[in-house]
Amino acid sequence: MLFKNEYKALLFEAQGNSRDYAILLTFLKSGIRESELAALEIEDIDFVHDTLRVREGKGKKERTIPLMPELKRALQRYVGDRDRQANIVDDETLFLARNGTSLNPSSIRKLVRKYYKKAGVRKSGVHTLRHTFSAHNVNNGMPIADLQKVLGHKKKETTLKYIHAVNTSLRETMLKTQA
């Protein structure tokens, strides 16, 4: 899990690149998985209803995630820049490489690691951003059941693993009530 100053440092380093900033913010504000981000298409963003649709989730289960204002702005900025990209090959894909093709999970991992290094953050990895999303939302009062839906988990126990670093006693209490 990243502390607030660490994830702010990541975003600071990426602010000059609308795509990279939008990618990092999508991880931090939606909690989606690396493979889910790679599979996102333009039509998965609904700027009118402020939602992000994840169609290629684990277990092929579709879910809808609320689009937070900061993420909405970042995605709108990126989509505007993307529309001006001359060499688009994969029209439907949301996040494109410089050559106009879709970003693959390996490229996404490399991109994220680059910003960890630039920001001087020791922890690295895309999955850390998912844990960060989970921990900060629970810390700010999000009910576990809601977090479970957003993350796309079938079992509450899986979601509880994501919040262990935040509040061990909350986790223990919830496990006791699951008997």
Indicate which CATH number applies to the domain containing 116: 1.10.443.10
For residues 93 and 12, state if they share a domain.
Answer: yes
Label residue 170 by pLDDT band (50, 70, 90).
low
Same domain, 103 and 20: yes
Is the pLDDT score of 90 beyond 90? Answer: yes
Residue 152: predicted pLDDT: 84
pTM assigned to the model? 0.86
Averaged pLDDT of the chain? 88
Residues 102, 27: one domain?
A: yes
Determine the average pLDDT of the residues in 74-81. 97
Are 40 and 78 found together in one domain? Answer: yes
Please give the tally of structural domains in the chain. Answer: 2
Range of the domain at 167: 130-177
Are 107 and 159 members of one domain?
A: no
- What per-residue confidence (pLDDT) applies to 37? 95
Same domain for 102 and 173, yes or no, is no
Both 69 and 120 in one domain: the answer is yes
Residues 109 and 53 in one domain: yes
What's the average model confidence in pLDDT over 29-52? Answer: 95
Supply 150's token pair. 């957003």
Same domain, 120 and 141: no
**Measuring CA to CA, which residue among 127, 102, 98, 89 is closest to residue 40?**
102
The more confidently predicted of residues 145 and 44 is 44
User: What pLDDT does 169 receive?
Assistant: 47
Express each pLDDT in 122-154 by its tens digit: 877 899 998 889 888 888 888 888 988 888 888
Query: Active-site positions?
Result: 33, 58, 127, 130, 153, 162
Looking at the structure, tell me whether residues 59 and 98 fall in a common domain. yes
* Residue 106 and residue 73 share a domain: yes
Q: Is it the case that residue 112 has pLDDT exceeding 70?
A: yes
- Using the 3D structure, point to which of 125, 146, 163 is the last residue of a domain: 125
Residues 74 and 12 in one domain: yes
User: What does the pLDDT read at residue 178?
Assistant: 60
